[in-house]
Amino acid sequence: MENLLNFIGDNMEMIYFLILAILLGVEVISNVPAILHTPLMSGANAIHGVVVVGAIIVMLHASPDNYASLIVGFLAVVMGTLNVVGGFVVTDRMLEMFKKKPKKS
Rounded to whole angstroms, how far apart are CA atoms 56 and 71? 11
Q: What is the DSSP string of 29-54?
A: HHTS-HHHHHHHHHHHHHHTHHHHHH
68-99 pLDDT per residue, tens: 888 888 998 998 888 888 878 877 887 787 77
Distances in Å between the Cα of 95 and the Cα atoms of 14, 23, 86, 89, 105 are 39, 32, 14, 10, 25
Q: Do 87 and 72 fall into the same domain? A: yes
Rounded to whole angstroms, how far apart are CA atoms 58 and 87? 23
Q: Do 70 and 21 fall into the same domain? A: no
Rounded to whole angstroms, how far apart are CA atoms 87 and 80? 10
Q: Do 23 and 60 fall into the same domain? A: no
Q: What pTM did the predictor assign? A: 0.57
Domain annotation covers residue 104: no
Containing structural domain, residue 4:
1-31
Domain annotation covers residue 101: no
Q: Do 21 and 62 fall into the same domain? A: no
Note whether 59 and 70 are within 8 A (CB).
yes
* Average pLDDT value over all residues in the chain: 83
Q: Do 20 and 58 fall into the same domain? A: no
Domain annotation covers residue 88: yes
Rounded to whole angstroms, how far apart are CA atoms 40 and 34? 10
Q: Do 26 and 42 fall into the same domain? A: no
Q: Do 71 and 48 fall into the same domain? A: yes
In this prediction, what percent of the chain has a pLDDT beyond 70? 92
Q: Do 44 and 78 fall into the same domain? A: yes
Domain annotation covers residue 6: yes
For the chain, what is the domain count? Answer: 2
Q: Do 27 and 50 fall into the same domain? A: no
